[in-house]
Each structure stands twice: as C-alpha cells, then as structure tokens.
A and B are shown apart, each in its own frame.
Chain A
Amino acid sequence: MANNHKSPTNDFNKKTKTYLEILGDTILPNQLLFAVLISVGISLGGYNIGLWLLPSIASESMVASYSLLIGILGSVVSLVFCSILFKPKRILVEEETSSESMRQVFKDLQLDPLEELELIENDPITKKELEEFGVLNSFLALREEQKK
C-alpha cells in the first residue's frame, strides 16, 4: 500500500471517520467485532455441544453430520441475533421523482432525444411495449420540452 509509511498517529484526533467499509457496505468496527465473536461462539459452541451430547442419542456414523447441522443452525441464529442487536448502518433514500427530467438524462448520455423519439415512432413493437409499460408518455414529453 502506498500510504503505509505515513504516521498513523493522527487517527486518534479525527473522530468523524467512524465507519469502515467491509465488502462494499459500511459497518461500525466495535459492533463487527462483537458480531464475529457471537457468531463464531454460537456456531462452534453448537457443534461441540453436538459432538459431546449426541453419541448417547444418535448412531455413531451420524454424530458428525448432526453436529454440523447444529453448528449451521447456530450461525443462522447468530445472523438473526446480530441483526437485532446491531442495526444496519445503511441510508436508504427512496427516490420519488421518476422522470428526473428525461432531457437531462439524454444530455448526460450525449444522445439526441428527437432521434430516439423518431426511432420509437417508427418501431411499432417498441412503441406498443412502452405503451403497455405506461412510460410512452414520458418519452413523448421529450418533444414538448424540446419545442420550448
């Protein structure tokens, strides 16, 4: 890493950067630590309890498999438990505007809206499809905007 040789001391002064990005999503480090401990504890715990308890109930050849199953159930339980304990840190923005000005989109993509309209008008299959999906009007609105 390029920044390895920089001194890490100023870390403590900055309290703003509290989140870490793991596998593409943000987490709080302390909570992740506890979550990992809980998950490993429950699944390995479940497995070992199985190994210890099952030989008196199940046939010998199935002990390992059943114990594994208990371990898996343990990790599913820990998923639910950790999700309740540690709430997700995502910010969900539900966009209400559907036609964030079609014109802007075409401008950004460097496309000519009139050319697109013409293609749609001359293609009955696409036109019918857009009509069925109920979005033909937002394309036709392009022409109105263009005229202005």
Chain B
Amino acid sequence: MSLLITAILFALLGAIVFSLIGLISGTDETAIMVPLTLLVILLGAPPAAVFSFFMAAVLAKHLTHAVPTALMGIPGDTTAVPLIDHANTLRRMGMPHIALRKMISGGIIGAFIALPTAVLLGQFLGQFADFFKSSTGIIFTLAAILIAFFSKGKWVSVLMIIPFAFFIKSLDLVSFSILDKHLSISFFLGIAIGPIFCDLLFATSSSARKTIERDKPKEYHLAPETKTWKGYFPNPFKILTGRQQVFTSITTFISSLTFVFSPVGMTSLMGEIVGSRTKGAYKKSTTSLAVMNGVTESTYIAEVIIPLIAFGIPLSPVALGPGSPLFNAPPVFTVDPINNLHTYLTSWEFFLYGAIGLIIASLIAYPFSMNYARKASVLVMKLVSQEAIVAMFIGLACLLAFHEAQLVGIVLTFTVAAVGGLLNRILGIGAGVQFMIFYASTWIMTTLFGI
C-alpha cells in the first residue's frame, strides 16, 4: 500500500515540475529529462515510483509544451516540430486556442491507448529476450550503425562510430586508472548536455561567436485569448469530432507498435497520411494536430515501455535518449548485466504504475493547459530568464558528475559534452547515436583491439 502512495507522490512531483518545464519553449528533451530522472533514481526512489514519475513527467511535459507551440508558433521541443505548420495556420486564423485544445485532447487519447498496447507487445516480444540478452554487444553495435544511418548527419555518423567509441574507451581507461572504477553517469550526462554546452563554447570562441550573436532580444508573439468555454475539466472526447477520435485512436494504436522509429518521423508520417485524406484548411489542420500530438505521445510511451518490458536494454530512440536512466543509472540500474526496471517490475506492475503516472499527469497538466495556458506562459516568460535556466542545468550536471566521481566526473562530463555537442550541432550526429556508441564501445574495442 505504501508503495502505491510513494508512486502517486512521485507522479505528482513529475507532473508538477514538468508541467512548468513544458511552458519553456525550445528546451532539449534529453538534456532535461535525463538529469532530473537520474536524480530521482539516485535519491533512492523505489523502481515503481521511478516509473510513475517518468510517465507523469513525459505526459505532463507534452501537454504543456503544446502551449508555446500553439500560442507562439515556436516548437515546445523537438518532438513538436512537425506540428508547427498546422498550428501556425490556425494561429493566423485567430484560433490558437482551438489548435491547443485539439492537440492536448489528441495527446491524452494517444497516451491511454499506448500504455496497454505497449505493455502487451512488450510481453509478447519478451519471448525472444534471451537471444537479445546473450548478444547485447553486437546488437548495440548493429543498432548504432542503423541509428547512425538514419540520423541527421547520416554517413558522417556511421563514419564516426569507431573513432567515437575509441574516444569513449580512452576516457574510460584514464578515469579508471585514477579512480579504479568505471564511470557511466558522467559519460551520458556529457552526451545529454552536449547541445547546451556547445552553445556556451560558441559564446566563448571569438570566431564561432558570430554565428550566435543577435542585435536585439528575441521577440515572441503571443496570440490573444478567446475564452469560449465553461467548467474546469473538459472531456477530451467532446473537444474532438467523431472522425478525429477515430483517426487519433487508429493512428496512435499503430504507432504504439512501431517502437524502433523516431517519434518525430512517425508523427510526420501519420500526420501526412491523415491530413491528405481531409479536406478544408480548418478541418485538415485541427484533425492533423489531434492525430499528430496523439502519435507523438503514443510512440514516445511505447518506445520506453516495450524495450523495458521485453529486453531491459535500450533499443529505441527514446529509450536511448530521454528514457536512458530507466535502463542505466549505476549503481542503481545497469545494462550489463541487466539490472533495471526490466528486472524489478512485472508487466502488470508496468501497467499499474504507468497508469498512475498518466492519470496524475492528466489530472494536473490537462486542465492546467486547458484553462491557464496563456496566463501561465506569460508569467514564465516574464519571470524566468534563460540565463537562470541554462545555469541551473549546468549546475545540475556538475552536481551529478561530482556525485559520481568528484572532480574527475566533472572534467569527464564536460570533455564528453564538448566533443559530443560539437559533433551533434555541427555534423548532425544526434545524442541517440552517441548513446548507442557509448553502449557499444566496449564490444567494439574488445573485438578490434582485444581490450
């Protein structure tokens, strides 16, 4: 019983914190999810509560990041990029609030369809788990090649697999000879905060600085509020038309099964399929938004749950990025040997604690963004400065790295962040590829050089 209450409390925490974070536009998903989830795990939260926290955080963040997407025309984060066109059409027609409501209603439906579907599929795939577990090294390497090929940088990512693995292993050997233990958190914190750190490096370089210099502060255009409804907790099914409900349900069901593709890719694909079958600008935009946000949500949730239940190794873009601490957060969770949520929770528990997270996030973030979207985003934009946000994440990264390995951890994190961030920003070798190479590096180096 007390575990249930702990899980509910952590879900509440996740929902509240990430409802606020979602309002800050342009935030990098991995850079924010990873440190905060790591903190919860390292603080000693029980595995079930960690899972509830994560699910609540994911849904809450996606429900409120629809706010900047709809009201200001700026993607809440990378997963909201494909929705921008349709959101802009409605915003320019003077109906951003309708765009927002369609989006978050679609998101809620997507989340609740994805959870049971993903749990069942995960359990089914679990039959093949022994094969996967016995050959993780080669699977990580093959997956690294595959993900690299589909990353933004494409061939350069494939080319950099061996050099980056060499780089990781070298740092590992140096830090091992100092501390006599292998580090892990410092490595993937470095990969996660790479993009932020890369911007900071640009700022300090007298030659690269020009690319990020601006002559005036950034301007945000906020659409006016047109309050057209009463009550506090609107029924998501009433916000969508029957046709939109059907389309959203079907597409989110399908996307819950395709856990190896990127959520952004699935969102664009499904949005395109449904959009091309809908006539009229208004109907097309509203239907596409509901479907797309639903698909983002369901792909995201499925990509975390399916590999967790079936294999215990991160075999999807989301599991490698924002969800990576659920698989690997030494000394609590490890991938090799597999000792993480996969070992601690049964399929039924995944369903139960996942549902707790989703329900609590819906109860908090859904009415919040339906009723107070505009007021809240004005408040956040006027009160919280970007300096403070960037500084906080640098501070958190230092804290976690120091916690793992004192000064060595901090130096290691920022070394990886510098190299990884530049590879990410300039060459398009995404964080997912880098995480995969990190996991594969041991096998690659053993196979090539016998160490």
Contact = CB atoms under 8 A, between A and B. Distances in A.
A132 B398 CA distance: 52
Interface stretch (B143-151, B358-366, B375-383): B375-383
A132 B403 CA distance: 55
B276 interface: no
A80 B280 CA distance: 46
A83 B388 contact: yes
B241 interface: yes
A44 B282 contact: no
Given A1-B426, A68-B43, A105-B92, A19 B217 contact: yes
Nearest to B241: A125
Contacts of B403: 47, 64, 67-68, 71
B385 A75 contact: no
Interface residues on A, range: 35 or more
Contact of A116 (B199, B220, B280): B280
A82 B74 CA distance: 25
Given A27-B390, A109-B89, A125-B242, A98 B94 contact: yes
B208 A28 contact: no
A96 B214 contact: no
Contacts, number: 252
Contact of A43 (B92, B208, B387, B396): B396
Interface string B56-97: 000000000000000000100000000000000100111100
A22 B386 contact: yes
Contacts of A1: 207-208, 211, 426
A24 B26 contact: yes
A78 B395 contact: yes
B378 to A, nearest CB: 7
Given A25-B386, A44-B399, A119-B283, A92 B241 contact: no
Chain A interface, >50% SS class: helix
Interface string B341-360: 00000000000000000000
A21 B399 CA distance: 25
A2 to B, nearest CB: 9
A70 to B, nearest CB: 10
Contact of A68 (B28, B39, B394): B39
B216 interface: yes
Given A19-B215, A27-B386, A119-B283, A39 B92 contact: no
A147 B388 CA distance: 54
A116 B93 CA distance: 13
B392 A79 contact: yes
Contact of A119 (B26, B206, B280): B280
Contact of B203 (A29, A95, A126): A29
A11 B203 CA distance: 13
A86 B219 CA distance: 18
Interface string A97-111: 111101001101101
B94 A20 contact: no
A129 B195 contact: no
Interface string B213-249: 1111111111110101000000000000111000000
B391 A32 contact: yes
B219 to A, nearest CB: 4
Given A19-B217, A82-B385, A102-B93, A111 B281 contact: yes
Contact of B95 (A31, A64, A82, A133): A133
B27 to A, nearest CB: 7
Contact of A93 (B216, B222, B391, B394): B222
B270 to A, nearest CB: 21
B213 to A, nearest CB: 4
Contacts of B39: 68, 72
Given A72-B39, A133-B228, A138-B94, A26 B207 contact: no
Nearest to A42: B395
B281 A92 contact: no
Q: 5 closest Cβ contacts across the A-B interface?
A: A24-B26, A39-B395, A98-B94, A82-B388, A35-B391
25 contacts: A1-B426, A22-B196, A22-B199, A23-B26, A23-B199, A27-B385, A27-B390, A28-B387, A35-B391, A47-B403, A65-B44, A75-B395, A79-B388, A79-B392, A82-B391, A89-B217, A91-B216, A91-B217, A91-B218, A92-B381, A94-B222, A102-B94, A120-B282, A125-B241, A126-B241
Given A36-B395, A65-B44, 8 more contacts: A21-B212, A67-B403, A68-B399, A82-B385, A95-B221, A108-B92, A125-B242, A135-B226
